[in-house]
Amino acid sequence: MKRSIQTTKIVEEVIRQKPKARWLFLTLSVKNVFDGDQLDKSLKEMAEGFRRLMLYKKVKKNMIGFMRSTEVTVNKNDGSYNQHMHILLCVESAYFNTKGAYLSQEDWTKLWQKAMKLDYKPVIHIEAVKNKKRNKKSEYTAIQLAVQETAKYSVKDSDYLTGNVENDLDVVKDLEKGLFRKRMIAYGGLLKQVHKELNLDDIEDGDLVRVDEDSNTEEKAYSIVAQWNWNLKNYFI
């Protein structure tokens, strides 16, 4: 909940400062791994790859800021770990209406492959944050839903607690080794600047008890179920 609350405050302020900005929801992934050592190595490489990706001229050109969240899921069929990043990107409106500025999914795929130095084509997904009905209220709702998706937990216990104690302990050990000293959520650009301006504590190391003076009200505000519509390729309440 804290992640969503903080990020929503940041996004609200960015929207106030940059009302014409557009928002993108990007998911980056790499091949699954099978143990804690491989997970540790892969997450380190992904963090460095993402840093390189954000420095590419084509990406930086219209970038205002971003929120990056790393998630690890467990494949129940083969026990492998899938590590991927959810990124909420804020870009200038010129990204969509200036020749040479727009990056297609194929462009993002090639740039991510280059940044990660991969010998295979990775799976990525990029979508503009939008609603069926284009108005200020619904547009903001779409952004809220993207925030919630980006800010969700890095690892869900329902993903790996199977009831098989021996197996569950092995998975916990792998996750403990893989996630040790990793920053699973981070801000960049204007979103990072606004985080500082709002004097918010560290989203991972700060106060995990008091997230807001009016926590009951905030919790009610986030009791919303968002569903992904594959046909429309967007999140809807």
The rounded distance, in Å, linking the Cα atoms of 232 and 228 is 9
Higher pLDDT, 104 or 216: 104
Mean pLDDT computed over 31-37: 97
Candidate from 6-10, 100-104, 224-228 with smallest mean pLDDT: 224-228
In this predicted structure, the answer to whether residue 236 has a pLDDT above a threshold of 50 is no
In this predicted structure, the answer to whether residue 34 has a pLDDT above a threshold of 80 is yes
Q: How confident is the model at residue 119 (pLDDT cuts 50, 70, 90)?
A: very high
The pLDDT value given to residue 162: 72
Higher pLDDT, 149 or 180: 180
Higher pLDDT, 218 or 140: 140
Q: How far is CA 49 from CA 45, 64, 65, 181, in A?
A: 6, 19, 17, 17
- Round to the nearest angstrom and report the end-to-end CA distance of the chain: 18
Higher pLDDT, 145 or 223: 145
Q: Is the CB of residue 26 less than 8 Å from the CB of residue 125?
A: yes
Q: Which residues contact 12 (CB under 8 A, 6 or more apart)?
A: none
SS (H, E, C) the chain: CHHHHHHHHHHHHHHHHCCCCEEEEEEEECCCECCHHHHHHHHHHHHHHHHHHHHCHHHHCCEEEEEEEEEEEECCCCCCEEEEEEEEEEECCHHHHCCCCCCCHHHHHHHHHHHHCCCCCCCEEEEECCCCCCCHHHHHHHHHHHHHHHCCCCCCHHHCCCCCHHHHHHHHHHHHHHHCCCCCEEEEEHHHHHHHHCCCCCCCCCCCCCCCCCHHHHHHHCCCCCEEECCCCEEEC
Q: How confident is the model at residue 165 (pLDDT cuts 50, 70, 90)?
A: confident
The rounded distance, in Å, linking the Cα atoms of 68 and 188 is 8
The pLDDT value given to residue 219: 30
Beta partners for 86?
Answer: 27, 69
186-225: pLDDT as tens digits: 999 999 999 999 988 665 554 433 333 333 333 332 333 3
The pLDDT value given to residue 215: 34
Higher pLDDT, 112 or 200: 112
In this predicted structure, the answer to whether residue 132 has a pLDDT above a threshold of 70 is no
Tokens of 81: 């770990």
Mean pLDDT computed over 122-139: 72
42-94: pLDDT as tens digits: 999 999 999 999 999 999 999 999 999 999 999 989 999 999 999 999 999 99
